[in-house]
């Protein structure tokens, strides 16, 4: 089992294995964060109304996050992940992958 101290190191090691030639996530892009969260929500067949209720956040707040207008706090990010029944690290890895792919396309 992982301790809090080595979670970041293990996650970074996974990223380095997947993306060995580039450091990912220089600046967190709120549009990518929102798009990835929206994709997870839609893959679970949930509406914004349902997910926001499960995560105990406002629907307009969730909508703003998905549109990239607002960045979720760490607390909100964890609430959303829990409501989606997905580990936050899985969502974060998807965000990092999307940012890497966007950066590579430039």
Alpha carbon of residue 44 to chain centroid: 15
pLDDT class of 4 with cuts at 50, 70, 90? very low
Q: Distance between CA 26 and CA 78 in Å, rounded? A: 21
CA separation for the pair 11, 92 (Å, rounded): 9
Task: Decide if pLDDT at 27 tops 80.
Answer: no
pLDDT computed for residue 18 by the predictor? 54
What are 1's two structure tokens?
Answer: 């089992």
Decide if pLDDT at 99 tops 60. Answer: yes
Those residues whose C-beta lies under 8 Å from the C-beta of residue 14, and which sit 6 or more positions away, are: 93
Cα Rg of the chain (Å, integer): 14
Question: How does the average pLDDT of the chain come out, rounded?
Answer: 83
What is the token pair recorded at 91? 């969502």
For the stretch 37-66, pLDDT in tens is 999 999 999 999 999 999 999 999 999 999
pLDDT of residue 87: 96
Q: Which fold has domain 26-105?
A: 434 Repressor (Amino-terminal Domain) (1.10.260)
pLDDT digits (tens, 9 = 90+) for 5-20: 444 545 555 555 555 4
Residue 33 has, within 13 A of its CA and on its CB side, a CA count of: 23
């Amino acid at each position: 089992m992982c301790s809090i101290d080595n979670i970041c190191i293990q996650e970074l090691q996974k990223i380095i294995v997947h993306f060995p030639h580039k450091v990912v996530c220089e600046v967190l892009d709120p549009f990518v964060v929102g798009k990835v969260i929206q994709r997870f929500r839609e893959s679970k067949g949930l509406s914004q109304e349902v997910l926001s209720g499960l995560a105990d956040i406002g629907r307009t707040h969730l909508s703003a996050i998905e549109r990239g207008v607002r960045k979720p706090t760490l607390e909100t990010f964890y609430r959303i992940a829990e409501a989606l029944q997905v580990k936050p690290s899985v969502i974060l890895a998807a965000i990092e992958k999307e940012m890497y792919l966007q950066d590579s396309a430039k």
